[in-house]
Each structure stands twice: as C-alpha cells, then as structure tokens.
Chains A and B, each alone.
Chain A
C-alpha cells in the first residue's frame, strides 16, 4: 500500500474490493438466514488465520490482536443481514402470499422483481396493468397483504412458504457511483474485512459480522456480550435525502446526510446517544488527515451501537455510515468516493486511538 501525503498508510478502493462488494450485494442474506454472506466472509477471512468463531446467532466473531502495549479493545460491528421478504402461504398457480422482514415501505414494492430461496429463483411482485385499473383505484397504494409474489407455475413448485426472498437488483458501477441492493450493510461488511486486513497495532480489533440487525439489533448485543469491549463502533449505511426541495426557495433542512460529503458520523439516533468523546475523536481524525466528513443529522433510526452500548456495564459507542440515496429500496445509490473516505477515516482514526480517550 502507498503512503499518502500525511505519511499514513493510504487506503484506496481497489477493483478487488469492488468485486467483493458486488458479490456481497448480489448475495441474499435476509435477517435470520445470513448463510450466503457469512460464507463469503469466512472465505475472505480464512487465509488470515485469525481467531474466528461463529456463535449461536450466526455472528462471525474475529479477534485480531495488536502488538503494542496498552492496547484498546475496540469492537467494530457490521451487519450481514438485509431487509427482504418471506413467503408465508402457497395459493397455488405459483402465487405466494408474503411478509416483509425489516423496515420496508410497502408503496415501493409493486412491480418489483425478486429472487427467492437459496437458488435465487426469479419471481415478481405482481401489479395490475394500468389498462385494468380505475383512476380512483390508483389513488391508494396497495397494502402488502394485497400483493403476491408470482413465481410462475413451473418455478412455483420449487419454492415453499418459509423461503426468504429479496430484490433482484444486480450490482452496477455507474461512473462515480454504485447502484445495488443491500448496500446497507454490505458496505460495512467489506469495510470491516479491509480494516481487519490492515489493522493497526495499538488496538485489539474485535470484529463482529452481525446477524438480525434489521429486525432489532439482535446479533450485536450477543456479540458485544462475548467480546466485552472498551469501545464499540457500528459501521452502517444511512439515508441521504439530499435531493433539492420541490420549492427552489425552500431550504432542504432534513437531508439526514448528503452524497459526496464524506462519511457520516452519528451524534444521536433513536437507539443511541453517541459518546461525545468518540465523536470528537472521529472528527479530529478526519480534520487532521484532511478527509471530508459530515454529521448525520440527529434523527430516528438505529444501528448495532444501540445494542452494544447497553451490554454488561456499558460500552461507549459511536456509529459511522456511508450516505446512501434510496436506502431500504430495491436500488440504493452511493458514491465510491464516500465509500473510500469512510474507510480512510476509520483506518486513520483507529491508528490514533489511545486508552486516554476514555479519560473524563
């Protein structure tokens, strides 16, 4: 790896990492069955020969010990699961009733292509053609229980209630951007893998590839109990509602984060009030290394930090996310440069971490 103008190990996004992110995003790992992504993670970790285990909830827990004296025990979590669906009732003729897993806006499901089950069999969330609807009908969005996943007669025989499904979106790099499903949180997964591979010696990196974040931060709490860390960091992706307001005179005051403005550092969400000492550490690290950064607007939402910070006697925690337009839909959009800067910020900040940070 090259050294940058600050004489730090510089982190770049390589084609290899883009390919890895592609494999991760195209994989299906809906909350509760993260096996496909877990296998990719384990395969990536194998050559490193680190202390690795898979716990009862399916979290992958990796310990990468540093070699300095007075190391800080830092837990970093990235969740492997994505939002999706589960087939619940076979209505014959290839039609299946289904439910959502995780937070999904029902209004953007109709007409979407899906993939179902371990073999990623293709289906569609059927929509009535416009020819057959009335203007009155078109005023109200369909409810989830009115929709069906149509697998067709043939393939319909190969899937069953309890199979999971997700959007069929294929990963694509479009100029400076990436469009894919499950960027939340495969970005976190790929970044955590990179951080493990380039971990500094002043920390013990306790990496948790967690499960079931989208349904209640469930894997992370269990993982934190196991690691018992001094500091917790959650890596995630967060909404960028940064398109201009409809009225050009009106300022968009509720953007959450903006694309092209760098990694988003959390102050407060519904689940966690970030430890201000950790926020200040991240901000000063970004400033010192001239890495663009932004605050995520204090808002609702939550990350694995919500579970981590309340475990045992408490763990000061913070979250860092890549801004993403259209998060929790079939196709999210991020900038490669924001992804790169998020990785740079984490790598730089971890290298500057000392036990004194927790002094009051």
Chain B
C-alpha cells in the first residue's frame, strides 16, 4: 500500500488543477469500476454495483485536490509573488520547496521582518532561479504544490497531501476489496474541496445519493502542547460526530460504530471544533442526505509533512468495506 500512497501523494494537483492526479487515480481503479465518468468540474465518479432491493445508492467522497499556491506577479528581478489556494499557513512555507504544474521547481523566501512581526503570505516569494521577469519560466496564473517526498517511519507515514490523497487510497483499496454488496456505490474522487467543497456540491447533486460518507483526514490531540482532542494516531479510523461545517447524522454515526464493533475493527470517535469536509456538501444536497465522515487521524495537517498511522489506514479500508458490504440499518 505504501507504493500507492507514495505515487498519489507526490503528484502536484492543487484545487482547480487536478488533471494529473485524476488520471493517476483513474488508472488505479479502471479494473474495479463498473462505470467511470468525469463530470463538468472534473470530479472522477466511479460506480460499483447496482442497487438491490435491500440496498441504497451510497456516495463516498475523497478529495484529490491539495492546497497550493498561484502566481500573482513576477517582479523585475524574477522573484515570484503568490496567493494561497486553500488554507495556507505562512509558517509552513518558510524554506519550503514547490513544484509547478509545468515542472519548474522553486524555493520559498521571505522579506525581512521587523521586530516581532509574524510572517504573512504577502511577505513571501518563490525563487525559481530566474534573474528577470523575462527569463522567469513561470507567470501569473501558474500553479504549484509543495514538494516533499513520502517517507515511512515504521508505521507512521509522512508526506504532503495526506490530506486528502490518503483517503483516495482508502477509497481505491475499498473498491478493490469490495466483493459483494447490495448497494450501488459511487466512489467520488472530488475536486476543489480545499476552496469550499465545490466539487462535492456538484457531484452530490449529480449522484443524488440516499446516503453519503466523506473520507478525510482529521486533527489529532496527541502531540506536545496541542489542542485538546481525544483523537490520536494508532487508535483506529475515526468516526466523525461533528466538525465546524456539519453535524454528522447520528444514525449514520451509530451505523458506523455498530459495524466497527461487530466486525472487531478498532475505531475512535472524533469531535473536531474546526474544519470542514465533503460531508457537509453531501448533507445539504437537494432535499437533504443522511451523511457522515470516516476520518484518518493526522498530525501536522496543511504542512508539507503530514503524518498518519498505517494501521489506521488499513483499518479504515476494513471498516469502509464492511460498511458497504451489508444492508444499512439506520436507527
């Protein structure tokens, strides 16, 4: 599984520029999907199965876009100014390396700060090694993601874009493992989540599911002097109760908990005070959809070195497969 994770996390693909990552995912799922289509905004939608009498139409959404940067200006000396795509913390940019969609690489520098000033995005710039506006190989509108190689520290896996490529891996592995199901499952690999769940909004409208689950990373409370949160790496896939964007349907939460219990799969509950996921977009579609979210606990989210636990990922696949294999009883 590490090979697949490495392959997907290292592909550049910020919101709105998902062509490369979508192609890579499509290649992985070709043989496991009954039907594949790409919708108007670029969501990859793969159907598996047909709805039986005791089945539902279920949408599973993992987003393939990542946070990144877009060029706003190239100055007279070839330094590149930018704006963030999605939530960018300036502190995680300092000294960082970027990879543009056109293959150019660069380093992030910063202006001199006065006194106790904290860095802001407008004080940063990218140095691609150019010396003038004319010889700079990137221009206004060019897009880059952060560049860091995947690494495995035993069971702890580190890369940029674990948010949310690790969930794409969970979806892919679930498609592979899912043998028998009463449900018609739409595995959506959604676009533009980081800028406002935009792909999931339109994908959910098109799929029009009876039930939906987002798969995404969530924060953890297990590093020094961090937020108070029970969720931790290694305690199992997390069942989201709420985040700042939506409240998971309690019936969906119960279904997830009961399935984990009866299958003997480790799990933990997740209460996130901040954040948002595709779950909200699904829940508010058309006349409303019962929705929840399966989360992977992750440290250092939205930094170039996000860390998850390999066992949490494997158990997430087990849990998602179990959830989709049997009739859904929402109570």
Contact = CB atoms under 8 A, between A and B. Distances in A.
Contact of A254 (B38, B72, B201): B72
A350 B6 CA distance: 43
B47 interface: no
B85 A268 contact: yes
A298 B41 contact: no
Interface in A282-302: 295, 297-299
Interface string B226-269: 00000000000000000000000000000000000000000000
Nearest to B207: A313
A358 B39 CA distance: 11
A253 interface: yes
A279 B139 CA distance: 14
A273 B15 CA distance: 8
B329 interface: no
A253 B85 contact: no
Contacts of B40: 230, 313-316, 358
Q: Could you say which interface size class chain A belongs to?
A: 20 to 34
Interface of B: 15-17, 19, 38-43, 70-73, 75-76, 81, 83, 85, 122, 140-141, 192, 195, 198-199, 201-203, 205-206
Contact of B16 (A268, A297, A311, A314): A268
B252 to A, nearest CB: 24
Given A268-B85, A360-B38, A253 B192 contact: no
Nearest to A300: B83
A251 interface: yes
A297 B198 contact: no
Given A298-B83, A309-B198, A268 B19 contact: no
B76 A273 contact: no
A210 B249 CA distance: 36
Given A268-B16, A309-B41, A312-B202, A253 B195 contact: no
A310 B206 CA distance: 11
A295 B141 contact: yes
A267 interface: yes
A360 B19 contact: yes
A358 B41 CA distance: 10
Contacts of B201: 310, 314
B73 A253 contact: yes
B73 A267 contact: no
B140 A297 contact: yes
Contacts of A315: 40
24 contacts: A230-B40, A253-B81, A254-B81, A254-B122, A267-B141, A268-B70, A273-B15, A273-B16, A273-B85, A273-B192, A298-B83, A298-B141, A299-B83, A309-B41, A310-B202, A312-B205, A313-B203, A313-B205, A314-B39, A314-B41, A314-B43, A315-B40, A316-B40, A316-B41
Nearest to B19: A360
A170 B153 CA distance: 69
Interface in A206-253: 230, 251, 253
A311 B141 CA distance: 25
A298 B39 contact: no
A267 B41 CA distance: 15
The 4 closest A-B pairs by CB, nearest first: A273-B16, A314-B202, A314-B41, A314-B40
Contacts of B39: 313-314
A276 interface: yes
Interface string A44-68: 0000000000000000000000000
Given A273-B195, A276-B17, A316-B40, A298 B202 contact: no
A295 to B, nearest CB: 5
Nearest to B70: A298
Contact of A310 (B16, B38, B122, B198): B198
A257 to B, nearest CB: 11
B266 to A, nearest CB: 37
B282 to A, nearest CB: 14
A311 B16 CA distance: 17
Given A313-B205, A314-B40, 13 more contacts: A251-B75, A253-B73, A254-B72, A267-B141, A268-B83, A297-B83, A310-B198, A313-B203, A314-B39, A314-B199, A314-B202, A314-B206, A360-B19
Contacts of B73: 253-254, 297
A105 to B, nearest CB: 20
A295 B19 CA distance: 22
A298 B72 contact: yes
A100 B153 CA distance: 56
A8 B294 CA distance: 56
A253 B16 CA distance: 24
Nearest to B139: A295
Interface in A251-266: 251, 253-254
Nearest to A255: B73
B42 to A, nearest CB: 8
Contacts of B206: 312-314
Contacts of A274: 16
Contacts of B72: 253-254, 297-299
Contacts of B199: 314
Nearest to A316: B40
A313 B141 CA distance: 26
Contacts of A313: 39-40, 202-203, 205-206
Task: Give the interface centre of B19, B70, B72, B201 by most chain A CB atoms within 10 Å.
Answer: B72
A148 B176 CA distance: 67
Nearest to B23: A360
Nearest to B286: A312
A316 B42 CA distance: 9
A311 B201 CA distance: 8
Contacts of A316: 40-41
Nearest to B202: A314
Contacts of A358: 40
A312 B141 CA distance: 27
A61 B75 CA distance: 43
A315 B198 CA distance: 11
A31 to B, nearest CB: 22
Task: Give the interface centre of A253, A311, A314 by most chain B CB atoms within 10 Å.
Answer: A314
B205 A279 contact: no
Given A251-B76, A254-B73, A268-B83, A295 B38 contact: no
A295 B75 contact: no
